[in-house]
A = this chain, B = another copy of it.
Amino acid sequence: MRVLRDITGRRQLRNPFGGASILSDDHVAHLHTQALQFLQSSGIRVLLPEARTRFAGAGASVDHDALLVRLDTALTQELLDLAPAEFTITARNASRSLVVGGDHLALAPVAGPPYVSDRVHGRRPGTMSDFDDFVRLTQRTEVLHTTTPAVEAQDVPMALRHLRTTQSTLTLSDKVPYFYARGRGVVADSLEMIRLANGVSVDEFRTRPYCWTNINTNSPRQLDVPMCMGIIDSAAAGQATIMTPFTLAGAMAPVTLAGALLLQHVEALAAIALAQIVRPGAPVIYGAFTSNVDMKSGAPAFGTPEGFTASVASGQLARHIDVPWRSQATSTSNTEDAQGAAETMVSLTGALLGGANVVLHSAGWQEGGLVASMEKFVLDVEVLDIVAESLRPIPMDDASLAVASIDEVGPGGHFFGTSHTLERFETAFHDPVAFTRQNHGQWTEAGSHDAATRATDVWQRWLREFEAPPIDDAALAAVDEFVQRRVAEGGALPES
């Protein structure tokens, strides 16, 4: 049995239920060996010349014409062994720093959708104002551990977008921030802003991670230009990088789960290897996004049994190479209904059983990632709060066992009025926010609103009540000044 450690508050969760198995140990070892052999015999396409040169410098076999990089098995394994099993991402509010690895669990909201939706303003392209709102909602939600680019701020010019969004992240939140890996200039600006917000020197910033980014491969078997730049620049700066192959079975990956997992592993290993070449010991996170597409329409499908199983197996693969790993909680549904809730929960359960250290997209993801939904955010947070409470050990002291109270009440009685109950009832149980325990009569009288309708009231109240966290005046001034200067200079365009 695993020993349970104390969980104190929600600042960092520990998951006693991780480490489940769906593959035998032999199959895990076989998948890993097959991936190493594939990298040696067939390799991966790498679009950025600098990345190929770095691979070559480390001893890889590079075909610059075909853009192909092949790593022999010993080299890949040697590079993997350099990646740390656990590390800490330092937040500007030290109590929000995150340990990544082991049985530590960090929950992150939706990241990346172009659209936003709520039941007041409808479904629409995301704006900077929406981005700000999601940062506010994330900041006030104790069970979420890091901010994300929850929605694309489409009203901000591309060259300035990373400046505005990083500024939002750093001033409306004191949680661990994310940065976009969209090319050299974007990364450099973002890291500099995060450094300024933390008030540390350039040298000190490089000694430990203060932020993280996510890299998606172009599955199958390709690392594109901005992704290579992101891996190189994040590793060089000592910041945390999630390497997430985009292996949707049946489309960008084989239709079989074994094949999709093999391809995921091949691509993740190559990306991790590059980071370790750039900086031995660079903090990396094994990303696993494997799910399937709907074979009738070709559309991605989330919250599927295949996605669940792939998550549990991915946890086994990440543990096999002893690197922290990231999963997600996602759904395909077009609205905040029973389908959306169930799919997200299936997906979340796969992540938790697999022992994921970071669960991305765990609040607000809708329509397969096309939409960040305010109501879904609230409903998902309700579930995450339930999950966080469910990870707590059960107090088993004599007072909790309540033998005297059971004796006192006697057969056929009730515990409502006992001193044992009265001393504890106010904090005994988790109280829901958007879920209701009204009976049918009360609920009907209150308008028969479903959970999604009630969630609209909740996010509006949360935004109304929001207070930005304190930030050091000098740090704030430095960030603002940097943004003004870089805006005046025209910012930095993403690369492709």
Contact partner of A396 (CB less than 8 A), chosen from B30, B292, B424, is: B30
A257 to B394, CA, bound (A): 7
The answer to whether B262 touches A401 (Cβ under 8 A) is: yes
Contact partner of A221 (CB less than 8 A), chosen from B258, B411, B416, is: B411
Contact partner of A45 (CB less than 8 A), chosen from B252, B262, B403, B411, is: B411
Contact partner of A430 (CB less than 8 A), chosen from B34, B305, B400, is: B305
Which residues 352-374 of A sit at the B interface, judged by CB distance below 8 A? Answer: 353, 367-368, 370-371
The answer to whether A255 touches B425 (Cβ under 8 A) is: yes
Flag whether A313 is at the interface (Cβ < 8 A).
yes
Number of copies: 2
The answer to whether B22 touches A393 (Cβ under 8 A) is: yes
Q: Are A292 and B429 CB-contacts (below 8 A) given A250-B421, A405-B259, A411-B222?
A: yes
The answer to whether A450 touches B335 (Cβ under 8 A) is: yes
**Residues in B whose Cβ lies below 8 Å from that of A409:** 220
Contact partner of A23 (CB less than 8 A), chosen from B292, B313, B394, is: B394
Flag whether A474 is at the interface (Cβ < 8 A).
no
Flag whether A339 is at the interface (Cβ < 8 A).
yes
The answer to whether B443 touches A304 (Cβ under 8 A) is: no
A52 to B222, CA, bound (A): 75
Stretch in A124-132, A170-178, A433-441 touching the partner: A433-441
Contact partner of A257 (CB less than 8 A), chosen from B296, B336, B400, B440, is: B400
A251 to B421, CA, bound (A): 9
Flag whether A420 is at the interface (Cβ < 8 A).
yes
A386 to B338, CA, bound (A): 14
A250 to B333, CA, bound (A): 37
The answer to whether B45 touches A25 (Cβ under 8 A) is: no
Q: Mark A307-350, 1 if CB is under 8 A from B, else 0.
A: 01100010000000000000000001111111111110110011
Contact partner of A338 (CB less than 8 A), chosen from B249, B438, B451, is: B451
Contact partner of A394 (CB less than 8 A), chosen from B218, B258, B334, B415, is: B258
A342 to B346, CA, bound (A): 10
Contact partner of A428 (CB less than 8 A), chosen from B222, B249, B346, is: B249
The answer to whether A250 touches B428 (Cβ under 8 A) is: yes
Interface centre among A22, A305, A406, A411 (most CB of B within 10 A): A411
Stretch in A13-21, A87-95, A148-156, A159-167 touching the partner: A13-21
Q: Mark A1-45, 1 if CB is under 8 A from B, else 0.
A: 111100000000000110011111101001100100010001011
Nearest chain B CB to A246 CB, angstrom units: 11
A448 to B123, CA, bound (A): 13
Nearest chain B CB to A189 CB, angstrom units: 29
A370 to B416, CA, bound (A): 22
Flag whether A297 is at the interface (Cβ < 8 A).
yes
Interface centre among A382, A386, A393 (most CB of B within 10 A): A386
Contacts A255-B424, A332-B437 known; 19 new A-B pairs at CB < 8 A: A16-B22, A68-B411, A220-B412, A220-B414, A220-B415, A255-B428, A256-B420, A258-B400, A258-B401, A259-B400, A261-B394, A301-B429, A305-B430, A308-B386, A333-B435, A334-B439, A339-B435, A342-B435, A345-B349
23 A–B pairs (Cβ distance < 8 Å), ordered by A = A4-B22, A27-B396, A220-B413, A220-B414, A254-B420, A256-B424, A259-B406, A262-B401, A262-B406, A292-B429, A294-B429, A295-B425, A297-B437, A308-B390, A333-B435, A337-B341, A338-B450, A339-B379, A339-B382, A339-B435, A340-B451, A346-B390, A350-B390
